[in-house]
Amino acid sequence: MLLPQEIIRRKRDGQALSLEEIQFMVDGITNGQLSDSQIGAFAMAVYFNSMNGTEATALTCAMRDSGQVLNWDHLNLPGPVVDKHSTGGVGDLTSLLLGPMVAACGGHVPMISGRGLGHTGGTLDKLEAIPNYSISPTSQQFESIVKDVGIAIIGQTGELAPADKRLYGIRDVTATVESIPLITASILSKKLASGLEALVMDVKAGSGAFMPNFAQSKALAESIVEVANAAGVKCCALLTDMNQPLAPSAGNAVEIAETLRYLKGDTSAHRLHQVTKALASEMLLSSGLASSQQEAEDKLAASISSGAALERFAKMVSALGGPNDFVERSELYLPQAKVVKPVTAKQSGMVKQLDCRELGMAVVGLGGGRSVPGAAIDHSVGISELVELGDVVDKGQNLLMLHANDEDAWQAAAKQIQQAIKLDEPSSAQADVNPVYQRIGPC
């Protein structure tokens, strides 16, 4: 007979758990037979003693199977089911770009996304800047949109990985969030429940990343790739830079506007373009939609130049309740902040630091994110036209445009932003560093 206290003791003492023991714990988390204190003790034992790859895979699969697991076979989709997931960042709107692009190349992307967490923005919050966009369609609507449009970005349903929802809530209040096997199982249980054939992970590294340092980011990427492939889903990961916001915009409506600029052909935000192209190429390669890097890049470029990716985005918005003419008349639909003016440089110099976390928290302070769960969001606020590391600016030159809804809020955010952006004496021009640090296989 299995006893939860004995399983907790074994993991507390550093022993590896069996598949049966892990399944027993996940069943107890899901059906309520384990108390919050027992789940917290289990999470703490894992936090201190970790899990090997076999244990982490067993935990992930048990959590995946704790609820509904989507299966797309009955729809006879003409292309592969593939997705991408990011560990979160500031100005990271790649999901909004590569989803329609991959769909235009023949993929089917059932993207189940999340809300903002801490200083990082959430894809769902951005999409809800679009009037009447529904993140909670019925299962039938979701399937139909994925089949007909190729891309649907929605929120997690209560039926997908319910064990993760309870376990995460307890981890959040027991200081056990930062555990690589628990993070791996949390991310992958939801993604694998989506019925994917291939998954590409974007794991951030840098001052605005979830993980505290590069080594931890790399360890998380390696864990996710190992477990996903062991669970039967082809997976690779890219380690990407988050020492500055990825796009020149951060906020909700401002990032939707940035999305439309990109999909309409303005790919001049080069860091955003590099990361989006790299992730989308991996999606095409891992799902068999391209046989070489060059072919993948050519197909993605064509999806933009032909307008096909923009058309997929427009169809997704319309199918999920948004305006039929949103792409053509977005300025009439996206909320606009009342106070929009630049934050300027107080001295001349080179941009040496953009504290990514502080810039994200400035947006949160304006109302663009949440300080408590469930709080309402002001979709109109944020920053745009942000300078990059290495830019040389003159005194009085714009560092960014700040979007706020009253003067006091603007002033408070401007002060925080001035402290987050450090200028120094200009030096020789910095080399253009590729924001994609490393690929972790095997796919």
DSSP string, 86-146: E---SS--HHHHHHHHHHHTT-BEEEEE---BTTB--HHHHHTTSTT--S---HHHHHHHH
Segment 360-373, tens digit of pLDDT? 989 989 988 876 66
* Co-location of 153 and 177 in the same domain: yes
Q: Is 391 inside any structural domain?
A: yes
Q: Is 429 inside any structural domain?
A: no
Lowest pLDDT segment from 121-135, 246-260, 343-357, 362-376: 362-376
Q: Which of 64, 171, 234, 273 is catalytic?
A: 171
- pLDDT of residue 429 exceeding 60, the answer is no
* Co-location of 109 and 134 in the same domain: yes
* Co-location of 190 and 318 in the same domain: yes
Separation of CA 243 from chain center: 16
Bridge partners for 422 per DSSP = 353
Which structural domain range is residue 22 located in? 4-49
Strand pairing report for 82-86 and 109-113: unpaired
Structure-model confidence comparison of residues 427 and 300, the more confident one? 300
* Co-location of 117 and 34 in the same domain: no
* Co-location of 138 and 246 in the same domain: yes
Q: Is 64 inside any structural domain?
A: no
Q: Is 15 inside any structural domain?
A: yes
pLDDT of residue 432: 65
- CATH at residue 107: 3.40.1030.10
pLDDT of residue 366: 93
Mean predicted confidence (pLDDT) in 147-165: 90
User: Active-site residue 186, yes or no?
Assistant: yes
Q: Is 351 inside any structural domain?
A: yes
* Co-location of 419 and 282 in the same domain: no
Q: Which of 84, 165, 277, 403 is catalytic?
A: 84
- What tokens does 151 get? 């891309």
**In which band, very low, low, confident or very high, does the pLDDT at 207 lie, cut at 50, 70 and 90?**
confident
Q: Is 197 helix (H, G, I), strand (E, B) or coil?
A: coil
pLDDT of residue 350: 95
User: Active-site residue 86, yes or no?
Assistant: yes
* Co-location of 216 and 251 in the same domain: yes
* Co-location of 318 and 349 in the same domain: no
User: Active-site residue 395, yes or no?
Assistant: no
For tokens 């830079």, what's the residue? 241
Q: Which of 94, 120, 186, 286 is catalytic?
A: 186
* Co-location of 248 and 124 in the same domain: yes
Segment 24-83, tens digit of pLDDT? 999 999 999 999 999 999 999 999 999 999 999 999 999 999 999 999 999 999 999 999
User: Active-site residue 123, yes or no?
Assistant: yes
- CATH at residue 28: 1.20.970.10
Q: Between the ranges 137-146, 156-165, 305-314, where is the mean pLDDT highest?
A: 305-314
For tokens 């934050």, what's the residue? 343
* Co-location of 324 and 340 in the same domain: no
Q: Is 62 inside any structural domain?
A: no
Domains in the chain, number: 3
Mean predicted confidence (pLDDT) in 110-130: 81
- CATH at residue 359: 3.90.1170.30
* Co-location of 118 and 83 in the same domain: yes
CA distances from 14 to 11, 44, 49, 54, 123 (A): 5, 12, 5, 15, 38
User: Active-site residue 136, yes or no?
Assistant: no
Which phi and psi (to 5°) does residue 279 adopt? -65, -45
Mean predicted confidence (pLDDT) in 180-185: 96
* Co-location of 320 and 341 in the same domain: no
Q: Is 434 inside any structural domain?
A: no
